[in-house]
Chains A and B, each alone.
Chain A
Amino acid sequence: MAGKTRRSLQSLSEEVATNPNSTAFVELAAAYRERGDTERALRLCLRGLQRHPTHVEAHFELGLIYEARGERELALDEWGIVRQLAPEHVGSRLALIRLYLDEKRYADAEIELAAARELAPADPAIAELDTVLQAAQRDTVAVVAQAAAPAGLFATLEQEYPGTLGVMLVGGDGQLLEGRMTRRGAESDRMLGVTLNGARSEATRVASYLGLGELQMMIIESAVARLTVSPVEDGIVIVATRAEVPAGQAARLVQRAREAAEVHLGGKER
């Protein structure tokens, strides 16, 4: 492999030396970069770009050189230029995603990933990066939820009422404030909070439009579980019980959870 690189270097160097208009400088710069000679690679690439300022691969390579030198912002600039010159350039998108992931800029990574997926849906590198992104996001959400949701507030209730699957307090912005659902991951708890917060808003509109007055509660039952959503200040308390728990007992649990949430929120305000 090393021999091949040397041979390539020689022939590429000759071509660049004999023909200043050649675009072989891109390959030559890549070869220098791969050998760790980023100084020479950088000079070569910058010089080549003076003659070929819109050469997509040259800008991409320059980004890789900057990245190798630890100059991330400059790398981002170059790949940004590639994105403008050639929106279909998958390589620059992948490079951007890797860099964003490295910097924990998951929202930016997600946007680039969606664009890359549209360009090359079957590219295994995209699927791989998607997996990395999802795992990273899960970890982040778990850490945030863990910090934000000490089980203490509703822990006693869950012990007092058998058949309780979980109790959560969700803020008006859909953020999980307290509690968790037993046997559910932090991310699914967060998603449940966000979607039920949306359902609560819709239920409020429905009740108002139909002249039913202020929303007090929403109950959703399936064959296995009963979810009760009740507004508390600008947030909601979500209580999940097994379906076989008598409705009256579930209603008492909901009432206790609401009281605990009101005290908690009132205490925070003070």
Chain B
Amino acid sequence: MRTQYADLLATVMGTPGVRGALVVAVRDGLVVDGRVHVDVEGEAVAALAASLYRRACRATGATEGKSRFVELEAAEGRILIAGNNDLAMMAVLHRRANPGQARVAVQRAADELAAIEGQA
């Protein structure tokens, strides 16, 4: 089923080294829409990364509605999360991905996500 987020997800997935892209409801960590490689557990990524995102936002005194970007860098890959208190765009990166390029893609997608939600 094609959703209104399909183009955004396709753009993020088109970035070299991205293994998964997800639109996630921040409050409950549920996947709204997503595309992932077969070896990526989309729902687990969404749930765990959303929890981390919420904690990071709380730790830094995030204001309701303000956008945030959180990046988790590990030995074998990265997770990028950008969004506001409602919806976030997440990307799972291979360790050989170009992080700069992926960050730009995820942040742009998050801006467009916010714009779509604003229109809704």
Binding site for B on A (CB under 8 A): 192, 195-196, 198-199, 202-203, 205-207, 209-223, 225, 227, 247
Among B59, B70, B73, residue most surrounded by chain A Cβ atoms (within 10 Å): B59
Q: How far is the CA of A247 from the CA of B66 in the complex (A)?
A: 20
Cα–Cα, bound, A73→B22 (Å): 61
> What is the bound-complex CA distance between A211 and B77, given in angstroms?
9
The answer to whether A202 and B51 have CB atoms under 8 Å apart is yes
Interface of B is mostly: mixed
11 residue pairs bridging A and B, Cβ less than 8 Å apart:
A198-B55, A202-B51, A206-B51, A209-B48, A212-B74, A213-B74, A215-B72, A217-B73, A219-B71, A220-B57, A221-B70
Question: Number of A-B pairs whose CB atoms are under 8 Å?
Answer: 89
Which parts of B57-94 form the interface with A (CB within 8 Å)?
Answer: 57-60, 62, 66-79, 92
Q: Are A214 and B48 interface neighbours, CB within 8 A? A: no
A169 to B71, CA, bound (A): 20
- Establish whether residues A195 and B44, one from each chain, have CB atoms under 8 Å apart when the complex forms: no
Interface centre among B60, B66, B72, B103 (most CB of A within 10 A): B72
- Is B100 in contact with A218, judged by CB distance below 8 angstroms? no
Partner of A212, one of B66, B68, B75, B100: B75
Distance in angstroms between the alpha carbons of A219 and B76 in the assembled complex: 17
A221 neighbours in B (Cβ, 8 Å): 68-71
Residue in contact with B77 in the complex, picked from A212, A223, A227, CB distance below 8 Å: A212
Bound complex: CA of A91 vs CA of B49, how far in Å?
A: 48
Contacts of A207 in B (CB 8 A): 72, 74
Contacts of B67 in A (CB 8 A): 222-223
Residues of B within 8 Å of A203, CB to CB, are: 52, 72
The listed residue (A196, A198, A216, A220) touching B74 by CB distance below 8 A is: A216
User: Do the beta carbons of A220 and B60 come within 8 Å of each other?
Assistant: yes
Which residue on B lies nearest to A222, using beta carbons? B68
A249 to chain B, nearest CB (A): 13
List B residues 22-73 near A (Cβ within 8 Å): 41, 44-45, 48-49, 51-52, 55-60, 62, 66-73
Task: Please give, as numbers and ranges, the residues of chain A lying within 8 Å of B74 by CB-CB distance.
Answer: 207, 212-216
- Cβ contacts under 8 Å, A225 to chain B: 60
**Within the assembled complex, what's the spacing in Å between the Cα atoms of A206 and B76?**
13
